[in-house]
Structure formats: structure tokens, C-alpha cells
A and B are shown apart, each in its own frame.
Chain A
Amino acid sequence: MNEDINIKIKSLMDQNEVCLFMKGTPEVPQCGFSSAISNVLKHLNVKFSGVNVLEDPKIREGIKIYSDWPTIPQLYIKGEFIGGCDIIKEMFEKGDLQKKLKEKDISYKEN
């Protein structure tokens, strides 16, 4: 795969402990699935950075190869791929996402 893109993706993850690769931005999501994860993170008051893949087709394709996961959105915490929309929603409902945040030492506060 394209090494430059890989390096760019890694540096995005290094700079942002909670990194959401999404369509659109947290303020203006362009897709229901991206919006759903973004809302979960907002609900938990987690500080996160949204990477808008619609602005960069290379990142859009690169991130799918990086994680071997064919869809966007994708959530990463401290570089670890946590899941797409279905997994994050399920984890949140079961309290597993909160556990994961705690485990990774990311502060959150449930509304």
C-alpha cells in the first residue's frame, strides 16, 4: 500500500487519542452512520477529532486498507481500531465502550 498515506494516517492517530474517520465533520456529518458515532462520543463528552474522509480520497481508501475494514466511519482510540457504527453502538449500549475508554485512560462523562 501507499506508504505516505500510511504515515499520514498514523500521525493523525498519534496526534489525536480518539480519532474518528468519518464522512463530514462532527458538526456537520454527511452520513447517518458517521453521525451516530459522533453523537455517542458527544454524549460521553469525549474529546475527539473527526477526520473528514470526503476531503481526501487517499485517506478514504487508505484507512480501509489500514484496518482491513471496508466501510466508514471507523473509530480509533490511541491507535487501536475499535469498530464501525454497529460495533460502537452495541458497545455503548452494553457499557463496553465506556469500559474501553477507562481502560485506555480517556476521560469521559456520561450526560
Chain B
Amino acid sequence: MALKIEEIKSLIKESMPDAEIIIKDLAGDENHYSATIKSKIFSGKSKIEQHKLVYKALKGKMGNELHALALNTMEN
């Protein structure tokens, strides 16, 4: 089962409403994405903590329905 770009975006938005999100479908297979996410929520946090926040927003889908999501998180 694959996740659509819009679903990924709305899940992230739910947890971080201020986020500016750019998602790319890298292989055109709805299974390998990259996401650039800019949010205030990341400020002062380590990269590991930032990525964990995104994984948490995806509610356990990462590594399951969502096979690959390359992350680039930025403080806003």
C-alpha cells in the first residue's frame, strides 16, 4: 500500500501547522519520496529529534506503508 503526496503533507501539517513542506516522488512509484520541511517546531533540536518529530507525525506509517522518505528538516 502506498501513500500519496497529499496524505503525507496533511499528516505532517496536522502535527506542525506552520510547516512549509515540499515533497517529491523520486521514482514516480508513490513509494520513494523526499521531503523538505521547514518549521519553528525544529528550532533548538538535534537532527535526530527533528526527524523523530516527522516520523511521529506520520503515525507509524514510516517503514510500513511508506517505504522511503528522505528527510531534510530546517528550522524556520
Contacts and interface: CB of A to CB of B under 8 A. Distances in A.
Interface string A71-97: 100000000010111110011000000
Interface stretch (A3-11, A40-48, A62-70): A62-70
Contacts of A68: 52
Interface in B20-41: none
Interface residues of B, number: 12
Interface residues of A, number: 14
A90 B72 CA distance: 9
Given A70-B60, A70-B62, A84 B51 contact: yes
Contact of A87 (B51, B55, B63): B51
**Secondary structure dominating the interface of B:** mixed
Given A85-B70, A86-B72, A90-B47, A71 B63 contact: yes
B48 A81 contact: yes
Interface in B34-76: 47-48, 51-52, 55, 60, 62-63, 68, 70-72
Contacts of B47: 83, 87, 90-91
Contacts of A33: 68
B48 A83 contact: yes
Contacts of B60: 70
B11 to A, nearest CB: 14
Contacts of A87: 47-48, 51
Q: Which 5 A-B pairs have the closest CB atoms?
A: A70-B63, A70-B62, A87-B47, A86-B71, A71-B63
Interface of A: 33, 64, 68-71, 81, 83-87, 90-91
